[in-house]
Chains A and B, each alone.
Chain A
Amino acid sequence: MLKEAAVETQPPPRSTLSSNVNAWSIYDTYQSNFEQQQQEKLQAQGKAHPKPPAPKPVHVSLERKDEQEIIKVSRQSRTVERIVNQNTYDEIAQDFKYYEDASDEFKEKEGTVLPLWRFSFDPVKKLAVTDICWSETYSDLFAATFGSYNFLGQSYGQVCLYSLKNPTYPEYHLSTSSGVMCVDIHQTYPHLVCIGMYNGTVSVLSLQTQGREPVCLSKTVKGRHADSVNKVRWGPDNMDGNHNFYSVSADGRVINWQLVQSELRLTEVTSLGMPEVKNEGPDGTVIPVRGCGSTFAFHRTDPSVFLVGTEEGNVYRCSTTYSSSFLSAFSAHMQSIYSISWNFYHTGIFATCSADWTVKIWQQDVSSPLFVFDLAAPVGDVAWAPYSSTVFAASTIDGRIHIFDLDIDKYRPICCQAVIDMKKTRMTRVSFSLAHPIVLVGDERGNVTSLKLSPNLRKKPKEAKNADAKRLFEIEQEKIEKLLSIVREPAA
């Protein structure tokens, strides 16, 4: 006889567990467990009164510890920020490095500019870009100052230092009580930055200090500027070894400021007197009239010679050693001169641009301009290119950038492109980068836009193919000499 027996069993009950094991979770678990143990110990020992205050100081010290921890990773977080920016703007970074407009091969006398990053910052959205200055030591660092050109609408100002590696936030920013009109980064000490403001104050900032305060202000110095400071420029260290810089202002004076142990001492270099304009007071006394300095430019090789442009359209050539008279003066434009720029290669050539719609190229000692270009709108800024002796760029208020290469075309720009939306804002400044093939333009909405120059704009002569730096310099000089010999009238 066969018997069947069957048993059904259920599997033992199961459940799941999932978790992550890493160094910080282990640490946190230990910390909380330890604290729990401490509290249990205190309870066991029966100490009632320290208990309420005991948890509170623990929490406070934890917060302070957190702050210190965060400061420790500031360098790392900055690197992470840059990497995130690079990933976000990856196409722009690739364009910046590698994009060369292929259609330039087919365009003979034309080039284009390609917009790259746009640097904007919330607090400066309502301000105009008043000056842009590249750092000579760090090729990706530039300073931009923000203020207002409006006589009636003056408010605060800002200085921002941006790096091309981080287009979303400035590396350094400082807000000031008055609009900042100009900036210069020291050529050899890149942590020193001098700025000039609308209310006549000049200030020196040091980027090394952790705090944001300027090193010194000129607010209380006797004899300081009475009107807006329009341009500043660091000069070479003087004989005492003190850093010094020059400033030109709308009150018609050029002042040399010395930085002596975080104090500013001023020496007046020159005063832009206009003896031919007679201004008589009510009782017949003649009040000396001073021209309003709107810009100046130092000679590239001789640091004591500089040109000053005024709002009346005159250009004065002055020297830092003679304060009473000018080396020469001539009337350059009908309206105020906004910018003067010396050529990088031929030290006697300079360009001026003015509100009278023209850009004029001059040679030292020659009273009539070599070239005159009419750009159909007030020209805000002109700048020679650092890589070529015949290329310069001008920005007009209607938002167009004009790039000329006198070697290719003496009469028309090889690039005339609108880069700023004319309906929204106007363009103020233009600046060439010293190391990269890009140009920065500023507008009235506080944006600095970077533009890449297409190959046609950066053309080098054929001999320059395998030349070294010195030979390149000579080639550029020969190029402009050849140009000048065509243009200049033969001496009678």
Chain B
Amino acid sequence: MADDGDAKKDEGEKKVVHTYPLCRQSDMPEEMRTEVMELCVTACEKYSSNNESAARMIKEAMDKKYGAPWHTVVGEAFGFEVSHECKHLLYMFFGGNMGICVWKCN
């Protein structure tokens, strides 16, 4: 896990907020996973105010690279239950409060 995140310390409370990308669950092969995580980080940083555009960017890039159909959810508070093809799921956190779930399913 890349530790390129920021740690924010509030005065007097010493609360450390980690923002590095953290993979919560994934069954992708290693290099695929790192690539996809970088892609997600880029998308979220580019469209930090618009979750829809970030998700669109991720999905279109994944479709091009790894074949349709991919599905993406980007958000701060949601619950989900998805069926995915094995070895084609990534569920990660980023930025301290953002959750991203990417999966492939016909």
On A, residues with C-beta under 8 Å from B are 11-23, 26-27, 29-31, 33-34, 37
Contacts and interface: CB of A to CB of B under 8 A. Distances in A.
Interface string B69-102: 0000001111111111110010101001111010
A421 to B, nearest CB: 51
Interface of B: 1, 3, 16-18, 22, 24-25, 75-86, 89, 91, 93, 96-99, 101, 103, 105-106
B84 A15 contact: yes
A17 B84 contact: yes
A19 B83 contact: no
Nearest to B77: A22
Given A18-B80, A19-B91, A21-B76, A30 B22 contact: yes
A34 B17 CA distance: 10
Contacts of B84: 14-17
Q: 7 closest pairs, A vs B, by CB?
A: A18-B81, A21-B99, A20-B79, A30-B18, A13-B86, A22-B77, A16-B83
Given A14-B105, A17-B103, A23-B97, 10 more contacts: A14-B83, A16-B81, A21-B75, A21-B99, A29-B24, A30-B93, A30-B96, A33-B1, A34-B16, A37-B1
Contacts of A20: 78-80
Contacts of B89: 17
A461 B44 CA distance: 73
Given A17-B91, A17-B103, A29 B22 contact: yes
Contacts of B25: 17, 19
B86 A15 contact: yes
A31 B1 CA distance: 14
Contacts of B17: 27, 30
Contacts of A37: 1, 3
B85 A33 contact: no
Contacts of B22: 29-30, 33
Contacts of A22: 76-77
Contacts of A23: 76-77, 97
A12 B86 contact: yes
Nearest to A15: B86
Contacts of A16: 81-84
Contacts of B99: 21, 26
Nearest to A23: B97
A34 B5 CA distance: 11
Contacts of A29: 22, 24, 93
A33 B101 CA distance: 19
14 contacts: A11-B106, A17-B25, A17-B80, A19-B79, A20-B79, A20-B80, A21-B75, A21-B77, A22-B77, A23-B76, A26-B97, A26-B98, A29-B24, A37-B3
Contacts of A31: 18
Contacts of B97: 23, 26
B85 A12 contact: yes
Nearest to B103: A17
Contact of A14 (B80, B85, B98): B85
B12 to A, nearest CB: 12
A30 B1 CA distance: 11
Nearest to B93: A26
A310 B101 CA distance: 81
Contacts of A27: 17, 96
A39 to B, nearest CB: 14
B18 A13 contact: no
B21 to A, nearest CB: 11
A30 B98 CA distance: 12
A22 B78 CA distance: 7
A26 B76 CA distance: 9
Contacts of B75: 21
A17 B26 CA distance: 10
Given A26-B99, A30-B18, A33-B1, A17 B77 contact: no
Given A30-B22, A33-B1, A15 B83 contact: yes
A44 to B, nearest CB: 13
Nearest to A36: B1
Contacts of A26: 93, 96-99
Contact of A17 (B1, B81, B96, B98): B81
Contacts of B83: 14-16
Contacts of B76: 21-23
A62 to B, nearest CB: 12
Contact of B80 (A12, A13, A19): A19
A155 B1 CA distance: 65
B92 to A, nearest CB: 10
A409 B84 CA distance: 83
A399 to B, nearest CB: 55
Contacts of A18: 79-82
A15 B88 CA distance: 10
Nearest to A21: B99
B86 A14 contact: yes
A481 to B, nearest CB: 66
Contacts of A12: 85-86
Nearest to A18: B81
A380 B53 CA distance: 76
B24 to A, nearest CB: 6
B86 A17 contact: no
A64 to B, nearest CB: 12
B89 to A, nearest CB: 6
Contacts of A15: 83-84, 86
